[in-house]
Chains A and B, each alone.
Chain A
């Protein structure tokens, strides 16, 4: 008995290597980042101050970049939800065979390199690409649209690139909903739309929130897609951090920008988690 007790209390040791690794290579760098963001001077003379933060907040252009980035995430996440939800709903309903195929198609993009997929979109969205050919042929626009190097293009590509992160949690949640609930609702005379909005949608809220958190954080930090599709004229936070850190070698300012960016993302994730808790409280008492 004593032996069993002793063994139970020893099990935390297995987590020790990874904990040490994370303390040294993850927690310590992040604290260093925060520390350097309080360096008053660019040359890091050791003088401390809020100079970097006042410089960031004092320039309207910087705030616009932050706002653009956070809004970009909102737009792409909403599109992921609008186009991803029906697919998840379908996957949860079709035969096992078709389901396996569809899930394979959803997962394939996750493991396929982001650089590769973004490259494909450059070809598709270019002025003489298939997307513009189709739009002109259908008469939707007299001339090809400028999709590359535009925010619309970035939103479209981000939506495609991050779509699986939205669909997969939704599939999990939708598969768990008892199909009898929808049947009961329809047997009692509710229409398909009413059943969806009153039964399926509220019950799938945990999946929506999980999907939104994953998609949103991935969209705002998607450096490759933002820079390749957005080009040099559209500036988002990840590129701003990179330019300040590597091109201008202004580490304290880049650190302050990183901290502001991380705080913004964490606040939004925190709000979403709080929202999911209050939804859960409403639904399950």
Chain B
């Protein structure tokens, strides 16, 4: 039998592979460009660099403002993740165990910061703090971040609770374990990966947040992404590239660790 080329099949596959290839290249390109650029040996930010060095990484060591904003961002992200995990996991336990309408309603409410424009929420929060006479601080920043980061923890925790066999909890309780003991020894180990993945996304999302921070920070609590945003927009300092390089390397390391220990990518779908 003669094998004829199926042009229809060929054109379909060729187009789909080509488009996928473009997308994959476009997805990785920015990360590669910034990493290369951060090692430039030149004064000007030109791509591709003609020489490579660590000079702009060394320059970060004396960049005081940048370091301060980095520390503030880490602090806010740490507070945000801790509070999001405590509030989000307990709410997820309640929502997952109930089939009632209030549970669906609460889930929609808690997830809605993902859909609403974060900037409008940031502005609304600023007005409320101002009405209450609370000045922008680490506290206001963290509160704003918790609202926009809780959905991530809630979503991954609900996803892992859905996989949890309720019979295991009944077993534990009928064997005489208290609720708290059951939670600690049965529930938590089984949903731990989901919680950890949500916490990781919440951390990265808080660390990267601009629209809420813009309204809730003041001069003393400038966060890293806004500081970088300012540099990029105004003077385009080479230290922006090396700072971005540090962020990228840190992100990749954390992501590989999360994938290794929590199977993080399963919770992103």
Give chain A's interface residues, CB within 8 Å of chain B: 7-8, 11-15, 17-19, 21-22, 25-30, 32-33, 36, 82-87, 89-90, 100, 102-124, 128-130, 159-160, 163-164, 167-169, 171-172, 191-193, 196, 213-214, 217, 220-221, 223-224, 227-228, 237-238, 241-242, 245-246, 251, 254-255, 258-259, 261-262, 265-266, 269
Contacts and interface: CB of A to CB of B under 8 A. Distances in A.
Question: Which of under 10, 10 to 19, 20 to 34, or 35 or more describes the interface residues of B?
Answer: 35 or more
Interface string B98-130: 100011001001100111111111011111100
B121 A29 contact: yes
Given A114-B208, A214-B114, A217-B115, 20 more contacts: A13-B94, A15-B103, A17-B86, A17-B87, A17-B91, A18-B110, A26-B121, A84-B23, A107-B255, A113-B207, A115-B208, A115-B210, A121-B30, A129-B47, A223-B118, A223-B210, A238-B117, A245-B123, A254-B123, A262-B120
A136 B214 CA distance: 39
Contact of B259 (A8, A104, A116, A167): A104
Contacts, number: 272
Given A124-B29, A172-B269, A265-B116, A18 B88 contact: yes
Contact of A25 (B119, B125, B255): B125
A44 to B, nearest CB: 10
B117 A18 contact: no
B151 to A, nearest CB: 11
Given A11-B98, A172-B269, A224-B229, A29 B208 contact: no
B150 A18 contact: yes
B91 A19 contact: yes
Contacts of B121: 26, 29-30
Q: Is the interface of A mostly helix, strand, loop or mixed?
A: helix
Contacts of B255: 104, 107-108, 111
